[in-house]
Structure 1
Amino acid sequence: MTSWDSKALSFINQTSRWDKEKHIGSFLTFSINLLRTLLHANITLQIEFQDEFTARVKNAYPEYLEDMVLDPEPIKKMLYSNAFKTIYWPAIPPPNHNVLKDLLQAFSSSVIIPLHTEPANSMILLGWSEPVEMTAAFQECIETMRIRLKEIITHSQQHSHFQRVAARFSAIMHAMPHAIIFINNDGYSGWVNQPAAELLELSGAGEQLPAILSDAMMQLRSRATNAEEIYQEAMQLFSSPANVITNWEWKFDYPTEKKYNVICMPVSSQQVSGRLWIFEAV
């Protein structure tokens, strides 16, 4: 096995372990730093095309290049003229033929790796102070790393998207006046908003173990003045094919007299399977 084969395999192995063991938020930064280490590059960075007017440098080494703003149009023209294939420069083109001259003025060789990953396309720039012989084995190594980098960026983008969706969902659920409880069928995860945390006398809103939620729900039911009626309704609920109940009254007289209209229904999708409870004070 040649040294370039070893470097490509090492990049795949190390990023695969990071994917399983470390925090996804720093996955891309780690991967670009690993590129620099394995390829002995003197400059590594990502150029992200944020909109038609802005390209921004990310994950940069040297660090002073971080967040540098570039004009995306000439860079995109260069990438499109090369059919979005990797660009190999054993010798850096002269400034009048080099749209990246501001980044590469002190370097001898460079590789530009376009990464076509919707919705935010980007590219990776590598540079060396000394000339690099870009053999067929070297280029094969780069192309293998490119495939893995595209997977990493796609994974990171998906993670960021899901984080935004989760933050939106959490903000909406916490703003609702009803007590909302979700217990996942996996036995490991559950969730409550702030009114539900107060109703169940939990320490706080957010993620909770299903065992804790089930115990709190049982204690809540035992405090109800119509606990026996609730129990009978529950037996019918869980034996019913529809497995849904609405307009279910839970009544309390301690610490204050209060009545809740309760809805209980299954929730099922490709990602989630569990039961949703909604307590509306009436």
Structure 2
Amino acid sequence: MSIWERKALNFINQTSRWDKDKHISSFLAFSISLVKNLTGADIALQLEFEDEDTAKVKCASPVHLNDIVLNPEPIKKLLYAHGFKTIYWRELPVPKENVFKEVLQALSSAIIIPVNTTPNNSLLVLGWSEPPSFEPDFVECIETIRLRLKEILLQSQQQLYFQRVAIRFAAILHTIPHALVFINNDGFSGWVNQEGATLLGLSGPGEQLPAVLSDAMMQLRNKALNTEEIYKKAVHLFSSPENALTNWTWQLENSTLSVSCLPVTTQQISGRLWIFETLDQ
């Protein structure tokens, strides 16, 4: 195994460990720093196309390059001309033709690595004062890193998107005036909103073990004045995963609850959603 094959494997291994142990928000910055160290580059940075008029430097090493803004139009033309493949500059173009001259100063060579296939995302720029060997093993190492970086960007974008969605929907569900309880059929995951946590006497809303939720609902049910009626309907409800019940009355000492239990089935989850509505205050 050549030294560049070992470096490519090192990059994959270290980013994989980070994937498991660290927060995704710092994943890309770590990866760019790792590329810089493995390749011996003097500078390494991400250039993100924020809009039609702005390409901004991020995750730069050295850090003083951060937030430099470049004109994206000539950079996009360069990427189009090379079919969005990695660009290897063994010698930097003359300043007039160097679209990265603001960040590639006092250097002799550079590599521009598109990490996505569309012009409105990101690319990685590496620069050297002393040019490295552009031998085939080195080029193969760079291409392996490029593919891994593309995976990292896609993963970070997806995870941040799902985090935003989860925060948004959790905020919505916590403001619903009904008590909501979801119990996944996997036996490991469940969720309750603020009203549900209050009704069931739990410490707080959010993720809860199904056993905890089931036990709390059983204790609530045992306090009902019509437990025999509740039990008969529960037998029908749980006789089939597809069964649902709505407007199910639980008469408590100080209030009456209208209870619904609905099956929730998608490709990702399968469980039941419980909805408790207080009929009288």
Q: Give the TM bin, normalised by the shorter chain.
A: over 0.9
Q: Deviations over 1:115-142 (max 9, x none)?
A: 2256952100111122222122211111
The corresponding residue for 2:6 is: 6
> Structure 2: any 5+ residue segments left out of the alignment?
none
Shift of 1:208: 1.1
Find the counterpart in structure 2 of residue 261 from structure 1.
258
Q: CA deviation at 1:71?
A: 2.0
Aligned residues: 279
- Structure 1: distance between partners of 2:54 and 2:229: 64
Q: Distance in 1 between matches of 2:71 and 2:178?
A: 50
Q: Deviations over 1:71-129 (max 9, x none)?
A: 21121111111111101111211210101000001222111001225695210011112
Structure 1 residue 16 displacement after superposition? 2.0
- Partners of 1:179 and 1:193 within 8 A in 2: yes
Give CA-to-partner distance per residue, 1:164-203, whole Å, 9 cap, x none. Answer: 1111111111111111111112222111111111101111
Deviates more, 1:213-222 or 1:232-241: 232-241
Any idea what SS the aligned residue of 2:41 has? Answer: coil
Structure 1 residues 236 and 69: CA distance shift in structure 2, 3 A: same
Matches of 2:241 and 2:13, distance apart in 1: 48
Match of 1:218 in 2: 218
Residue 245 of structure 1 corresponds to 245
- CA displacement, residues 49-86 of structure 1 (integer Å, 9 cap, x when unaligned): 12212222221111122233322112111111111110
Partner of 1:55: 55
Structure-1 separation of matches of 2:241 and 2:189: 25
Q: Which residue of the partner structure matches residue 150 of structure 1?
A: 150
The offset of 1:152, in angstroms, is 1.2
Equivalent in the alignment of 1:228: 228
Q: What code does the residue aligned with 1:274 have?
A: G
TM-score where L is the length of structure 2: 0.94
- 1:145, 1:17 → 2: CA distance? 15
**Which secondary structure state, in structure 1, belongs to the residue aligned with residue 102 of structure 2?**
helix
- Give unmatched runs, 5+ long, in structure 1: none
Q: Helix, strand or coil: the match of 2:203? A: coil
- Aligned partner of 1:130 in structure 2 is 130
Which whole-Å CA distance do the structure 1 matches of 2:117 and 2:177 have between them? 40
Q: Is contact 2:84–2:117 with CA below 8 Å preserved after alignment?
A: no
- What is the root-mean-square deviation in Å for CA atoms of aligned residues? 1.6
Higher mean alpha-carbon deviation, 234-243 vs 219-228, is at 234-243
Structure 2 residue matching 1:110: 3-state secondary structure: strand
- What is residue 114 of structure 1 aligned with on the other side? 114
Match of 1:94 in 2: 94
- Contact 1:45–1:58 (Cα < 8 Å) also in 2: yes
Cross-structure match for 1:271: 268
Corresponding letter in the other structure for 1:276: L
Q: Aligned residue for 2:277?
A: 280
Deviation per CA, 1:192-217, whole angstroms, max 9, x where unpaired?
11111110111111111111111111
Tell me what 2:172 maps to: 172
CA contact (8 A) 2:264 2:272 kept: yes
SS at structure 2 position matched to 1:96: coil
Give 1:26 deviation, angstroms.
2.1
SS of 2:96's equivalent in the other structure is helix
Q: Match of 2:83?
A: 83
Q: Percent identity?
A: 62
Contact 1:117 1:150 (8 Å CA) reproduced? no
Partners of 1:259 and 1:101 lie apart in 2 by 72
Mapped partners of 1:241, 1:34: distance in 2: 50
